[in-house]
């Protein structure tokens, strides 16, 4: 197998693994989009900062944790919070 075929095969495996953990990708992505849209509306029409990105990544992890509570999500949430204030 060539590199591209290996990459495609591994990507399919990862998608299947994540779907088993967090449910259908479109549902999760829709929930994340809803959270991010609300956040973007609240900050107004301004360029995003690094702190904004940390907040949005925390929201992503919260949505994932709602679908499948996992200590790794909590670790990532804490990590983004620490990075935000570093």
The two tokens of residue 19 are: 């779907």
Q: How far is CA 26 from CA 5, 11, 18, 45, 84, in A?
A: 24, 16, 12, 27, 28
pTM of the model: 0.84
Going from N- to C-terminal start, the domains of the chain cover 25-84
Q: pLDDT (tens digit, 9 = 90+) per residue, 23-69?
A: 999 999 999 999 999 999 999 989 999 999 999 999 999 999 999 99
């Amino acid at each position: 197998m060539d590199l591209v075929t290996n990459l495609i095969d591994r990507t399919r495996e990862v998608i299947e693994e994540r779907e088993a953990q967090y449910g259908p990708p479109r549902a999760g992505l829709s929930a994340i989009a809803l959270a991010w849209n609300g956040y973007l509306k609240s900050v107004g029409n301004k360029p995003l900062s690094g702190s904004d990105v940390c907040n949005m990544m925390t929201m992503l992890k919260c949505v994932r944790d709602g679908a499948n509570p996992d200590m790794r999500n909590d670790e990532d949430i804490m990590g983004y919070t620490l990075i935000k204030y570093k």
